[in-house]
Chains A and B, each alone.
Chain A
Amino acid sequence: MSLGKLIERLIQLIPVLLGVSLIVFVMMALTPGDPVQIMIGDQAVTPEQEAAMRRDLGLDRPMVERFFVFLGNAVQGDFGQSFYHRRPVFDVIAERLPATIELSLVALIVALVTSIPLGVLAAIRKNSIFDRIATVGSLLGVSLPGFWFGILLLMLFAVHLHILPVSGRIGYSAEIEPITHMLLIDTLLRGRFDAFLDALSHIILPAITLGLPMTAILMRVTRTSMLEVMRQDYVTFAEAKGLSRRRVIFRHALKNALIPTVSVAAIETGSLLGGNMIVETVFGWPGLGRLVVESIFLRNYPLVQAAVLFYAVTYVLLNFLADILYTVLNPRVKL
């Protein structure tokens, strides 16, 4: 892909971000619920004190003015102060982001390493018992609610078997100096294998819970596309040539069968970020998803706006990545 195309795609981001900003701003502003009232809670307050709080949060200004102030500051990388944390929104999000990314990546790995072999196996043993179990299993995987499945895992592995912890990212004796803020990487970089295992034990259950629906979807995509590829003439030809079945499947069929899997995986990674909100709550995972949900309920406008913008950018970039991967895997397609 040429540099020109890359720049073109990046320029396309601008109207997307403007549109998303406007929609989120208007939606938040029009949603019933007053941040000042929520903040005051159940207390007696004088009208003057209430007005002072409104002024301090910048909510005394008209909506249109607030929007342009937000845009003007956002362009300079200033997303304002979180109403509740009383610190720059950017800092608050940056603190939570590594946990979310780490969890999403591990969930993605879990999904890829389980879905592809299962999908291939289901395809080459089409209509076998295994295929049927896998199909029913994938249906369950898509339909099981994350919060329910997560709690089920907790009850089994943490409460009954006592082999995995209930919540958090790492134990309290395993303190490490952060480098990338992704604990699985940092613990290894610092040579703390014990801490790495500790972090791993914390991430397993949330990653499985988060990765499960994706595993199910990818398995079905892989199975379908594998079945399609196996019907192609070149596969029949390879088999006719007398190549071993293993060689036909792995050398010839799989490479082409994986093209749709990879693009779906890239797009689904975006939805992992959304699925995080529930999984992070169940497992007390200190990520961005939980923060955004809390902020929506509290009408913490600046934080929600910045976080949604971040989600939008991530989605667009992941779609872009999917397109690039597609051209790499299938050189006949050009962007």
Chain B
Amino acid sequence: MKQRILGLSKFVYLAVYLLIMVFPLYWIVITSLKPQKDIFSFPLKYWPERFTLDNYVHIFKISKFHIYIGNSLLVAITSAVVVLVIAILSAYVLARFKFRGHRQIMLAFFATQMLPGFVALAPLYLMMSSMNLINNRFSLVLMYTVILIPFSTIMLRGFFQRIPASLEEAAMIDGCSRWSALVRIIIPVMLPGIASTFIFAFVQNWNELFLAVMFIDNDALKTLPVAMNSFILKFDVDWGAMSAGAVLSIIPTILLFAFAQRFIVEGLTQGAEKG
């Protein structure tokens, strides 16, 4: 009897929690599919009587939404690839070698995760403008890469540490150089870890708002978050268009998350545990 009550209360708790987690997403999707006048009429419809894609059509009409999507993809993917190349190297070195300064470098990388990064925001703006990189998507690629280097290095280092060094040592005895052992032997074994780091980086870049707001105000160069930010300032009451924009911005990250949840969770926890 006691077992049954316990089991039932566990079930109820998990069900309520699920409802609370899913409802906001459900609500924004439902809002985006309602005709404009149903969004603002009483009583609220928890299941719309009519579905429409008008809000989606509308948002492409009132803004260059396809261009924002393109910009976001370009910046997020480019930077995630560059981060991966740089961080694989630094993580490998930090996982396999002990040398003077090793501890300090790890500490410097950890510290970037703890310090309030916005202290650097104003100076970065001035640096970018002196290099003529304001309103240039390269500034975003550069900064997103820099921001993700420490975390990706820490995470990938955790993955490297789980691969026995004997693997590449054997290859090196067979005449491989360290470079080719890394590329041919180690990286293929690490693919799940690399994929999860890539997806983590992509999602961070895709979502980043404040640097993009500072560096970009040319409409043709805006990324999705910047565009959504100016929507809020411009059409604060047009929740039809905004919900459609929000849903479109969320879709890629949700898909990637669904696809890679297991790997990322593994990577995050193991990367953090190994520190």
Q: Do A and B bind each other?
A: no
A residues engaging B (CB < 8 A)? none
